[in-house]
Amino acid sequence: MADKYENPLCKRYSGKAMQFIFSDDNKFATWRKLWVALAESQQELGLDISDVQISEMKEHITNINYETAAQFEKKLRHDVMAHIKAYVEQCPQAAPIIHLGATSCYVGDNTDIVLQYDALLLVKKMLINVISMLHDFAERHKSLPCLAFTHFQAAQPTTLGKRATLWVQDLLFDLEYIDFASDRLKLLGCKGATGTAASFLALFEGDHEKVKHLEQKIAAKMGFDSVYPVSGQTYSRKIDYYTLSALSGIAQSAYKFSNDVRLMAHMKEIDEPFESGQVGSSAMAYKKNPMRSERIASLARYVMVDALNPALTASSQWLERTLDDSANRRISIPEAFLSTDAILSLMHNIVEGITVYPKIIEKRLTEELPFMATENILMHCVKKGGDRQELHERIRVHSMDAAKKIKLDGGDNDLLMRILSDTAFNLTSDELSQIMNPKQFTGRAEEQTDEFLAEVKNILDKNRDFLGVDVEISC
């Protein structure tokens, strides 16, 4: 047993790839890559920095001396200075030039942007694959009529595939927002203590062009096209808000999906995956609780609430810098990504292994369809010469009696038999069977699904490089 708290997002829910992005190994290696990029760029622009110094720094990018850094931080109470000193111990020749002219946010903020960008790409990959699987699910079930609901009351039928397109459309909105959030990410650059780049201007003896080129070079070395044109000591915390808002959007869509799955599971129309040895309840052995969908809902609530953190942080920054953002961001940003990764993994798992029960779907539709079909029956019988007003009243009476039998006596819906037996309708069994074909009541559901899925296919084709992902639900 562990003798300290372990984050459930890492222990139980999130995948290894997302955990690595926000790991100490990746974070501090990125710090060191940024120090190397700074030194290389300064050398290229004429500062007295040797190849030996840069080579020494590169040798120790990944072999981070954590114990040394921890000892320094205990004394200094400053994580960046602690890691600078730990790096210097490994790179004595480079000691004079490591972090030259920079402030803490040079490594802290630039690393945060790098990690967010990588994490957004991973989220996009997961999202694209969930969309692809739901596309296939909708295609398979586009012709399967099912009872639709408004206010969770029986309403005009749709098809199961059409219902799935609603989930896909929400996720496509999220995909657009993910692209928006990742496309607007830029590095902070090297702007110094208050965003004026004064220290770098001094290093380059007042040469403004070299200072601008320094930022461009660092950005290119770190894989970015540009830096934010202005900042205080930090990049605007509104950027974090846009990022977590995109994740909140995914959480909202996933929550809706999970609720729909749980409702349909309650009606026995579908089941989420359930392994042969899985236990649904410690007390009620027969139960097959939809725990994956419930977990999605639980994690989604966390992400949606977590998106409030960057909003509050962005609004409360003082002038060029205050440190009351730091502790919050260390928690809120990684955990939003870890939770979203878990949510999308669960969605992938559910869609991949979902079981559909067409006979139950048909049975439920058949139970409710007679009431919905009365308008069609009325029109058919009027065309045959029936009196519209008389038939309307007879349908009203038969419907009330049938509903009473169902609700008070627990009987079957016998409305159709009542109408068929009523000579005023002059209706044959064959005519009634034709009228009662469920496909007569689903409108353009199948056609809408086909048309929509064609658009989805185009989006998936444009993102084909993101297709293919391994998902494992550990518990």
Give the tens place of pLDDT for each residue, 26-75.
999 999 999 999 999 999 999 999 999 999 999 999 999 999 999 999 99
Q: What pLDDT is recorded for position 388? A: 92
Could you give all domains of the chain from N- to C-terminal order, each with its CATH number? Answer: 22-101+189-227 (1.10.275.10)
Give pLDDT, residue 471: 86
Q: Is residue 151 flagged as an active site residue?
A: yes
Catalytic annotation, pick one of 151, 282, 429, 474: 151
Q: Structure tokens of 47?
A: 């500062």
Active-site option among 50, 55, 226, 281 = 281
C-alpha atoms less than 13 angstroms from C-alpha of 103 in its C-beta half-sphere: 20
Q: Quick check: is 316 catalytic? A: no
Instruction: Confirm if 242 and 181 have CB atoms less than 8 A apart.
Output: yes
Sequence letter at residue 174: D
What separation in angstroms does the CA of 383 have from each of 307, 376, 420, 426? Answer: 59, 11, 16, 11
Task: Say what the pLDDT of residue 432 is.
Answer: 87
Average pLDDT, the chain: 93
Nearest to 159 by CA among 458, 456, 452, 454: 452
**Alpha helical stretches, state H, 285-356:** 291-306, 308-315, 326-353
Q: Within 10 A of 93 (CB to CB), how many other CB atoms are there? A: 14
Which pLDDT value is given to residue 468?
92
Measured in whole angstroms, how far is the alpha carbon of residue 126 from the centre of its chain?
Answer: 8
Q: Are 87 and 134 in contact (CB under 8 A)?
A: no
Nearest Cα to Cα of residue 110 among 23, 228, 238, 246? 228
Record the pTM: 0.92
- 151-201 pLDDT per residue, tens: 999 889 999 999 999 999 999 999 999 999 999 999 999 999 999 999 999
pLDDT at position 274 is 73
Dist. CA 21–CA 19, nearest whole Å:
6
The parts of the chain modelled with pLDDT lower than 70 are 1-2, 275-287
